[in-house]
Amino acid sequence: MASRSGGEILVANLLAQRATHAFGVPGESYLAVLDALYAVREQLPFIVCRHEGGAAYMAEAYGKLTGRPGIAFVTRGPGASNAAVGIHTAMQDASPMIVFVGQVGTDMLDRQAFQEIDYRRMYGSVAKWAAQIDRAERIPEYVAHAYRLAMSGRPGPVVLALPEDMLTTRVDVADAPFVEAIAATPAAADVKAAEALLRDARRPLVLVGGSRWTDEARTALREFAERCCLPVACAFRHQDLFDHRHPNYAGDLGIGSNPALVARVRDADVLLVLGERLGETTTSGYSLLNVPAPRQRLIHVHPGADELGRVYQPTLAICATPGAFLEAIDASSTRTRHATDVAARAHDDYERWRAPRSVPGRVDLWQIVRWLDETLPDDAILTNGAGNYATWIHRLYRYGGTRRQLAPYSGSMGYGVPSAVAAKLVHPQRVVLSWNGDGCFLMNGQELATAMQYALPIVFVVIDNGMYGTIRMHQERHYPGHVSGTDLVNPDFAQLARAYGALGETVATTAEFAPAFERALAAGRPSLLHVLIDRQALTMGATLDALRTQGIEHQHLPQPNA
Ligand SMILES: Cc1ncc(C[n+]2csc(CCOP(=O)(O)OP(=O)(O)O)c2C)c(N)n1
Ligand SMILES: [Mg+2]
């Protein structure tokens, strides 16, 4: 008899790629894999989740954090469907990830057998690559290719379907070698041209984002910015690429960006974009630069050739990883003619944007987040999903240095809980704070059970305003007073946490937050702080009533072409 089953070969090849965790929900469709994982449970633990959306988010977050693909295992049709949100996030966020999906046996394919889906078609346009492994002897080839593809160019998710009979077939085949991302280095002439453009710049700005950053590349960016006196801005939810406490930090371009930074981008004469693909949110809805020919001289450095010139035709298109470009560029020949205080002025604008204000009600998130910023250690990891509650941490918390941000560029809700589970598994010694809205938390809050199961002392915070506040904000602006589908009746989240076995506390005033947080940190087990905020504190700047008034006034203005 041949030596190994398809399931065993698959697991051996994950080990060959040095996978450290597999996230998933089991299914009878891939029992042979689960059995092979049982044999190596110490080396490659299967982290059992409560929903495939949670598992896929965890795998995506693992990819974002480590640069190696996060691995998820899900069962046929229903499991694969539940996992979609994580796959879409990995695609939008350019995170390396591989999702293995159970598939009906090849003897039944194309009959719409029980839970059958053709994943190549289902995920054809969502994933970077979707394929099916029909022969066990080709598993090493598929797995190595999936790893390489997920990490290279613009990283992204790969979906591989596993027919049941393929997983039990026994064959003799050698494992694939360890693979790494394809390097992408700039041509010397392009680097010289970039140096010349920067040398002539009077209002330069560096904008960083995307994936494929390493610690070395972050350090190189800091040194480059210092030597050339360049201001550095971060793209939407890629704030941890540059230390916000650094005097050259200019702020982030995301939802509700600092108008002074927006003006700085518009007025820039040379824009050096490193790793960011210039997506809709970073560019304020494609309004910051002219499409397709920006007025600014644009040096666009991205490891994925397809991203260069996708929307904006750059003056210089350089297909390289940020690290390779920063290594190649000569800071001493890039000394620019711009005033040396350009970066300092940009940083002043950033500090002014963070200056404390207040919001109505007994809980003031301005104060709480500023306290967290001053209190959390330098290597803390902060996670969040989508919602107005996140704007406080994006604006006030100082990421970068060794502080990490796990947040969906895709704007997908429900990310904050599962990504925190992945973060704490990868970095058990670091403080992991999961920051959630009431709406966001209940999308994937069931993974609190996973945090309990693996004894992960994460601090979960739920900012409860009793609504899908972001949508309510848009509603009041466009349809004032018509509250449709945005009010929420919530559980007592602290009590819910206690039912899971976690520590659960309610925070009803600003003063209660700090001591409750200290108790949560000291608990040694998962903990949840249920923070009750005033419904009027809908945004960082405007109350619910003010938004409604503005909406009504706007309705009474003569409409164009009306
Ligand atoms: C998966 C998903 N579904 C729906 C949306 C649309 N959406 C964006 S923010 C938001 C409300 C978030 O509510 P909550 O977490 O309570 O945060 P809040 O805005 O109230 O602070 C919704 C429904 C989304 N971004 N992602
Ligand atoms: Mg809410």
CA 202 to CA 217: how far, in whole Å? Answer: 25
Do 367 and 256 touch, CB atoms closer than 8 A? Answer: no
How far does CA 10 lie from the centroid of its chain? 28
Is 459 a pocket residue for ligand 1 (Cβ < 6 Å)?
no
Ligand 2 center–CA 437 separation, angstroms:
5
Do 484 and 472 touch, CB atoms closer than 8 A? Answer: no
Ligand 1 center–CA 389 separation, angstroms:
10
Please give the model's pTM, rounded to 2 decimal places: 0.97
Residue 37's CB is within 10 A of a number of other CB atoms, namely 23
How much is the pLDDT for 350?
98
φ, ψ at 447 (rounded to 5°): -75, 0
Report CA dihedral (104, 106, 112, 113) to the nearest 10 degrees: -50
Ligand 1 center–CA 440 separation, angstroms:
6
Is 387 a pocket residue for ligand 1 (Cβ < 6 Å)?
yes
Is 445 a pocket residue for ligand 1 (Cβ < 6 Å)?
no
CA 502 to CA 342: how far, in whole Å? Answer: 49
Shortest-distance Cα residue to atom 25 of ligand 1: 412
How much is the pLDDT for 562?
44
Ligand 2 center–CA 258 separation, angstroms:
23
Q: Is the dihedral of CA 326, 330, 334, 340 positive or negative?
A: positive
Is 392 a pocket residue for ligand 1 (Cβ < 6 Å)?
no
Shortest-distance Cα residue to atom 20 of ligand 1: 469
Is 440 a pocket residue for ligand 1 (Cβ < 6 Å)?
yes
The token pair that represents 313 in the structure block: 């035709």
Is 252 a pocket residue for ligand 1 (Cβ < 6 Å)?
no
Shortest-distance Cα residue to atom 16 of ligand 1: 439
Q: Count how many residues are written for the chain.
A: 562
φ, ψ at 309 (rounded to 5°): 80, 10
Ligand 1 center–CA 387 separation, angstroms:
5
How much is the pLDDT for 167?
98
Is 29 a pocket residue for ligand 1 (Cβ < 6 Å)?
no
The conformation of residue 326, written as its DSSP 8-state character, comes to H
Ligand 1 center–CA 463 separation, angstroms:
12
How much is the pLDDT for 555?
87
| 488 Cα nearest atom in ligand 1 | 16
Is 408 a pocket residue for ligand 1 (Cβ < 6 Å)?
no
| 486 Cα nearest atom in ligand 1 | 23
| 469 Cα nearest atom in ligand 1 | 20
Is 410 a pocket residue for ligand 1 (Cβ < 6 Å)?
no
* Cross-strand bridge partners of residue 205: 271
Is 437 a pocket residue for ligand 1 (Cβ < 6 Å)?
yes
From first to last of the 562 residues of the chain, give the pLDDT tens digit. 679 999 999 999 999 999 999 999 999 999 999 999 999 999 999 999 999 999 999 999 999 999 999 999 999 999 999 999 999 999 999 999 999 999 999 999 999 999 999 999 999 999 999 999 999 999 999 999 999 999 999 999 999 999 999 999 999 999 999 999 999 999 999 999 999 999 999 999 999 999 999 999 999 999 999 999 999 999 999 999 999 999 999 999 998 899 999 999 999 999 999 999 999 999 999 999 999 999 999 999 999 999 999 999 999 999 999 999 999 998 887 766 777 789 999 999 999 999 999 899 999 999 999 999 999 999 999 999 999 999 999 999 999 999 999 999 999 999 999 999 999 999 999 999 999 999 999 999 999 999 999 999 999 999 999 999 999 999 999 999 999 999 999 999 999 999 999 999 999 999 999 999 999 999 999 999 999 999 999 999 999 999 999 999 998 876 655 4
CA 517 to CA 357: how far, in whole Å? Answer: 22
Mutate to test the pocket of ligand 1, among 255, 368, 440, 486 (most ligand atoms within 8 A of CB): 440
Mutate to test the pocket of ligand 1, among 470, 471, 490 (most ligand atoms within 8 A of CB): 470
Is 442 a pocket residue for ligand 1 (Cβ < 6 Å)?
no
CA 424 to CA 446: how far, in whole Å? Answer: 16
- Which ligand does the CA of 469 lie closest to? 1
φ, ψ at 372 (rounded to 5°): -60, -40
CA 342 to CA 503: how far, in whole Å? Answer: 48
The conformation of residue 174, written as its DSSP 8-state character, comes to P
* Cross-strand bridge partners of residue 162: 102
Percent helix, strand and coil across the chain, each to the nearest 5: 40, 15, 40
Contacts of 118 (CB under 8 A, 6+ apart): 110
How much is the pLDDT for 375?
98
How much is the pLDDT for 559?
62
Shortest-distance Cα residue to atom 23 of ligand 1: 468
CA 2 to CA 13: how far, in whole Å? Answer: 17
